Structure formats: C-alpha cells, structure tokens
Amino acid sequence: MATVQPPPAASSAAAPPKHELFVEEQLRHARRRIRNLDLLAASLGFLVGTLVYGLGMILLDRWLNLPSLIRQVALGVYVVGAAAYILFAMVRPLMRQINPYYAARKVEQFVPGAKNSVINWLDLRDRKLPPAIRGAVGQRAARDLGKADLDQALSGRPEILQTRLSLEAGEHQRRARLYALLPEIDLEGAYLRSYGQVIVPTNSEFIGINAKWAIWEWGASYAAYRASQAQARAAAFDLENQKQQIRAEVTSGMAQLDAAASAISVAEQAITSAQEAYRVTDAQLQAGTATTTDLLEAQSALTQARLNYLRAQYELAISRVNLRRALGQ
C-alpha cells in the first residue's frame, strides 16, 4: 500500500496585522539611526579629544621643553584615557539595546499632532485588548509614522535637494537682475594733507556722492530679469511636481506593503485549510472511503499553499525595500 509523508505541523502563532508590522519596522529603523548617530557623536568626540591632546602637547613642549619622561607619561595617560573612552562611549553602547520608548519619543518629535500614539501602541501591544481597540491604536501609530516618513522623504530625497538648490539659485539670480535695474550710488570722501606747495591747497578734504545709472541698458537688463523670474517659477513648479511624485511613490509603496502583509495572512489561512483538508483525507483513506490519489492531491494543494506563503513573504520583503527607497532611506 502506498504511503504519503504527512506534513509537519504549522505554527500556531498568528501573524500580526499589517499596520503593526509597519510600526515595528519603523521603530527598528529609528533605533538603528539612533545607534548610528550616537556612534558618530562618540567618534567625533574622540577625534576632538585627540586633536586637543596633540595641540596641547605641542604647545607645552615648545614652551617648557618637556623632558622625554614627561612626554612618555602624557602619552601613556592619553592611551589609557582613549581606551577607556572607546570602551564606555563606543563599545559599551553597541552591546546594549536601545529602549523602544526612547526611539518612539524621538520619532514623535518629528510628527506634528502625534499625541503619543506610538508610545500608546507600545504600552498596549502586549495586553489583551478587544481587536477593535487594538487595531485602532495600531492604525493611529502607523498613520502618524507614515506622515513622518513622508516629510522625511520630501526633505531627504536627492532630487528634491537638487531642485531646491536650483530654485534658490534662480531666486538669487532674479534678485540680482532686479537690483541691476536700479542706479548705483556711492558715497565717497577723502582727506589730503599737504603743506608747503603753492598750487595745492593746504589740508584739503572733500565728500560727495557718485551715481551711475545705465539707462541705455534698461531693455537688456529688464529682459534678463524677466528671464530669471521665469526660471525661478519653472524651478518652483519642478519642485512641486517632484514632491507630488514622491508622495505618490510613498503612498503606492505603503499600499503595496499593506497588500503584501494581507497576502501573508491569506496564505497562512490557506495553509491552515490545506492542512485540515489533508488531515480529513488521510482519515478517510484510513477508513477506506478515499484513495491514495485523493491524498496526493491534498498534499499537492498543501505544498502549493506553502509555496504561495513563501512568495507572499518575498513580495513583502520587496515591498519594504521599495518603500524605503521611496522614503530616501
């Protein structure tokens, strides 16, 4: 009699909702950024301390002509201090976990009107709450984090920075062309001390105003001003257009991430149904009311459900990468 290998039992843990996955991902990213910033600040502090030590030793040695023993002792003190600083300011923080509440507080500082939504989600995520209340808290936190990421994308994307600089350059050029239409007025003054000369007065001074106004170039100057003004308006339109495109990319990326998370939930439910169908078919086979072909078909359906689940996980990972790219991370 043909036998079929029974499938392994599926995990009973249900996947978290899509908005909770998004909040957790953003908090992990915030913790990574905080750690990197702390490490950068500690590295700069170490560099500044090294420069101060080197400069101080050079000045003291030139001023006091320090003996060799004093310089060696100072070097030893610097090495010990540098090792202690690296241990406590750079290595030790890397071994510790960043408090998620601290990361949530830092994130909420950049979200206008957040009202502690992320902190509230951290407080309530491990408690047994009705699904409606839990979902509302998670959706509020995800919505606030989405606003923060959109603002970050609008300020951190390279094309936005380039267009913004072009806009500023066009505005400066427009002002320069406008000022070129105005007259140039200079206040001049001088004092000449002279003594003993017949044709030169003694101790002469003067003060006056020197005015220049290129009236015959007004046409060309005004045309250049209008051209620079049009360029500044075009740069402003380009900036707004790029902002709209980035908003669309971020919104589309978040929608794709939600769809991928929903696909994982559907795939998990399909696996559960396929496992139950396999169990029932196996029981029917043992009772003689089903054939081995039926059991093979049930196992094939279960394998296909698991394959769909792996594809859904792949799509979720791709959606996260695309969203990060849209956010300029």
pLDDT exceeds cutoff 80 at 279: yes
**Are the CB atoms for 114 and 104 separated by under 8 Å?**
no
User: Is 140 or 5 the better-scoring residue by pLDDT?
Assistant: 140
Measured between alpha carbons, how far is 275 from 282 in angstroms, rounded to an integer?
A: 10
Question: From the centroid of its chain, how far is CA 307?
Answer: 34
Q: What percent of the chain has pLDDT over 90?
A: 1
Query: 225-246: per-residue pLDDT in tens?
Result: 788 778 778 878 887 787 788 7
Q: Is 262 exposed, middle or buried (0-12, 13-18, 19+ CB in 10 A)?
A: middle
pLDDT exceeds cutoff 70 at 221: yes
Q: What percent of the chain has pLDDT over 70?
A: 76
pLDDT exceeds cutoff 70 at 110: no
Q: Distance of CA 252 to CAs 32, 255, 318, 326, 327, Å?
A: 25, 5, 13, 9, 11
Measured between alpha carbons, how far is 184 from 211 in angstroms, rounded to an integer?
A: 6
pLDDT exceeds cutoff 50 at 10: no
Question: How far is the first Cα of the chain from the last one, in angstroms, to the nearest whole number?
Answer: 58
pLDDT, position 245: 80
H or E element that contains 212: strand 204-212
Out of 1-10, 11-20, 161-170, 281-290, least confident range: 1-10
Residue 11 pLDDT level (bands cut at 50, 70, 90) = very low
pLDDT, position 132: 64
Q: Which residues contact 219 (CB under 8 A, 6 or more apart)?
A: none
pLDDT, position 4: 46
**Which pTM does this prediction carry?**
0.43
User: Is 260 or 19 the better-scoring residue by pLDDT?
Assistant: 260
pLDDT, position 57: 85
pLDDT, position 293: 87
Give the single-character DSSP code of 157: -
Q: Which residues contact 218 (CB under 8 A, 6 or more apart)?
A: 181
pLDDT exceeds cutoff 70 at 2: no
Residue 144 pLDDT level (bands cut at 50, 70, 90) = low
Q: Rounded mean pLDDT of 107-135?
A: 67
Q: Rounded mean pLDDT of 178-194?
A: 76
pLDDT exceeds cutoff 50 at 187: yes
Q: Distance of CA 110 to CAs 44, 98, 255, Å?
A: 25, 19, 23
Q: Among 231, 245, 229, which residue's Cα sits nearest to residue 160?
A: 245
Averaged pLDDT of the chain: 76
**Are the CB atoms for 163 and 244 separated by under 8 Å?**
no
Residue 13 pLDDT level (bands cut at 50, 70, 90) = very low
Q: Rounded mean pLDDT of 41-61?
A: 87
Measured between alpha carbons, how far is 121 from 105 in angstroms, rounded to an integer?
A: 12
Provide φ and ψ at 185, rounded to 5°.
Answer: -120, 125
pLDDT exceeds cutoff 80 at 7: no
Measured between alpha carbons, how far is 329 from 325 in angstroms, rounded to an integer?
A: 6
User: Is 223 or 275 the better-scoring residue by pLDDT?
Assistant: 275
Residue 80 pLDDT level (bands cut at 50, 70, 90) = very high
User: Is 122 or 56 the better-scoring residue by pLDDT?
Assistant: 56
pLDDT, position 169: 79
